Copies of this chain bind each other. A is one copy, B any other.
Amino acid sequence: MPKIVNHEERREQIAEAMWRVILEKGMEGATVRNIAGEAGLSTGALRHYFKDQDELLVYAMRLVNERVEKRAMVILQEELPPKEKVIRVLLEIVPVDEERRAEMDVWFTFQAHIRHRKDLEGAPGHALGAAVSKLFDFLAYEGELKEELDIELEAERLYSIADGLALHAFLEPNRLRADTVETLIRDSVGRICK
């Protein structure tokens, strides 16, 4: 018997096919035909799940966000010191392996694309800044932050470091080493904590 795949699972598979096409060919290659081919569907079958390319685009972007958020939530519920939780959440966002590198590549490609798509509704913005702010609130609540810290400035710095590293993993995948990323994240969080 063939595996029964429900509607939502199929939508996720199509979004993942879109990610793979983008990684291979960029947004220019992310046509409905190419995505359907990658997903092993006809274009007609794909349209059963998404009425047009824009609906798929917004869904595929939201799915990147959701996956990252889910991984972050799992870490925050683990039995770990607060500082270690924050470090590990940041390491989930900054790509240190192939899977996360691909995710960031897709994410930047999406963001570059939607800059010039003012007609597109419902596309998620860049959410990392809000996430870093929440991590700061968490560290403050746990009493981990150093006294007399300029919190706004330090949040902006950590946010810049995290996204700068993510960008470099995207633009210079062969140069930036995973251990350098981890050392820099650990050191940068260490400096704001007691």
Using CB atoms and an 8 Å cutoff, list the residues of chain A in contact with chain B.
Answer: 24-29, 105, 108-109, 111-113, 115-117, 125-126, 129, 152-153, 156-157, 159-165, 167-168, 170-172, 175, 180, 183-184, 187-188
Q: CA A34 – CA B150 in complex, angstroms? A: 47
Q: Is the CB of B175 within 8 A of A157?
A: no
Instruction: Say whether A161 contacts B157, CB under 8 Å.
Output: yes
A interface SS class: helix
Docked Cα-Cα span, A44 to B25, in Å, equals 30
Please determine whether B156 and A160 come into contact, CB atoms closer than 8 angstroms: no
Q: In the complex, A149→B20 CA distance in Å?
A: 41
Write out the residue numbers on chain B whose beta carbons fall within 8 Å of the beta carbon of A156: 180, 184
Contact A160–B172 (Cβ < 8 Å): no
Question: Closest chain B residue to A24 by CB distance?
Answer: B116
